[in-house]
């Protein structure tokens, strides 16, 4: 945001990988409004970059525009950036100020996917769950698969479109044959990642039948049947062989590869077994849990309880840094954050 005399004269944000960074977008907006940014103050959530990537350094644009003062809400933790941009601006005669308190905390939370990827090379993982009042996460065969209500499901589609990738386990896929697309107006489609150690994904599944809508990556174990792996590739899926002796190790290997592809956020849906593997790998950063006002009792399939019940890990507890509760339609949404990056 660019401000002069208390008036906003330009705004911008980094809309998509490879497009203008926020600073350059704000300067473009400023000029589109026929405003001169020279002598104005620029407010940024992240320190301006000083390196050449898909876009040129933002500090160059700030200096060329004659911005007099830059207020920075949070540092850039990436090795190639940290501290360089502010130093160049200061040497160029730009006054600098650093936000603190609630504003700085909000900026860090806004950039959590970027910050985790910058520090670890891995995407930020958000676990989504929907459960009944008695803790069941699956309905009985033949019943409606939906536990949460329509308002909650609409919200999930929005979250999908905000994520770089969405993940599910093969058990969920075999049971529900989902599309896993973001069905919302002008939705950005995430990469669909299916953890399928034995390469059991049917070639006539909706996932493979919708490759024109969204990319599909199938994560298999090194000992997966070569014929089935070949059939998946022939059907158009990309297959990633993730090494590791345990599901947790394969989760970490897969996340490492996603990070190499600059995917900074993963929305984890569907599959208690997969959620357990992420938990065992220590790769759940935050969670969003819908509790629906219904009781499913013992009519659900055996073992369809909550995350942490699986014999592979035993009960587990995550310590939340903060949590909140809100109403979404008839459901209750519990949001928790376990790490800050």
100-117: pLDDT as tens digits = 999 999 999 999 999 999
Contact 285, 163 (CB under 8 A): no
Percent of the chain with pLDDT over 90: 78
- Catalytic-role residue among 16, 23, 198, 322: 23
**Which range is least confidently modeled, 25-29, 140-144, 163-167?**
140-144
Tell me the percentage of the chain whose pLDDT exceeds 70: 93
Nearest to 284 by CA among 216, 221, 337: 337
Point out the least confidently predicted range of 104-113, 135-144, 295-304.
Answer: 295-304
pLDDT of res. 197: 95
Q: Which own/partner contact pairs does 15-21 have at CB distance under 8 Å and 24+ positions apart?
A: 17/54, 17/262, 18/54, 18/55, 19/55, 20/55, 21/48, 21/49, 21/55, 21/58
Average pLDDT over residues 297-316: 47
Q: Which residue blocks in the chain are alpha helix, DSSP H?
A: 22-32, 58-65, 84-91, 101-110, 112-120, 150-161, 170-176, 226-234, 247-260, 272-280
CA–CA distance, 320 with 309 (Å, rounded to integer): 19
More confident residue, 202 or 15: 202
Can 150 be counted among the known catalytic residues? Answer: no
Domains and CATH numbers, the chain: 2-110 (3.40.140.10), 119-337 (3.40.430.10)
Nearest to 37 by CA among 52, 45, 25, 49: 25
The per-residue pLDDT of the chain, averaged, comes to 90
DSSP string, 30-59: HHHTT---TT-EEEESSPPP-S-SSS--HH
If pLDDT is split at 50, 70 and 90, which confidence band does 81 have?
A: confident
């Amino acid at each position: 945001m660019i401000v002069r005399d208390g008036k906003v004269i330009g705004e911008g944000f980094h809309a998509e990988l490879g497009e203008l960074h926020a600073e350059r977008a704000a300067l473009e907006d400023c000029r589109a409004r026929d405003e001169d940014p020279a002598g104005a103050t620029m407010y940024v959530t992240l320190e301006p970059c000083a390196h050449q990537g898909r876009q040129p350094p933002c500090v160059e644009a700030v200096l060329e525009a004659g911005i007099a003062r830059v207020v920075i809400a949070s540092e850039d933790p990436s090795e190639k950036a940290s501290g360089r941009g502010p130093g160049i601006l200061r040497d160029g005669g730009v006054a600098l100020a650093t936000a603190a308190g609630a504003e700085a905390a909000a900026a860090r939370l806004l950039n959590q996917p970027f910050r985790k990827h910058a520090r670890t090379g891995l995407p930020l993982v958000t676990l989504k769950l929907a459960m009944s009042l008695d803790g069941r996460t699956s309905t009985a065969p033949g019943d409606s698969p939906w536990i949460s209500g329509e308002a909650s499901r609409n919200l999930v589609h929005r979250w999908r479109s905000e994520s770089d990738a969405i993940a599910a386990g093969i058990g969920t896929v075999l049971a529900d044959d989902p599309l896993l697309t973001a069905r919302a107006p002008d939705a950005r489609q995430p990469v669909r990642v299916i953890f399928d150690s034995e390469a059991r994904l049917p070639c006539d599944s909706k996932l493979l039948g919708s490759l024109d809508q969204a990319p599909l990556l199938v994560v298999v174990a090194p000992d997966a049947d070569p014929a089935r792996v070949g059939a998946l590739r022939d059907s158009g899926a990309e297959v990633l062989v993730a090494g590791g002796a345990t599901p947790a190790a394969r989760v970490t290997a897969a996340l490492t590869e996603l990070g190499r592809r600059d995917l900074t956020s993963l929305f984890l849906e569907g599959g208690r077994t997969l959620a357990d593997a992420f938990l065992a790998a220590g790769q759940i950063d935050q969670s969003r849990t819908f509790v629906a006002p219904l009781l499913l009792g013992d009519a659900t399939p055996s073992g369809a309880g909550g995350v942490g019940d699986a014999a592979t890990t035993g009960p587990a507890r995550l310590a939340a840094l903060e949590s909140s509760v809100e109403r979404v339609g008839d459901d209750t949404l519990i949001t928790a954050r376990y790490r800050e990056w």
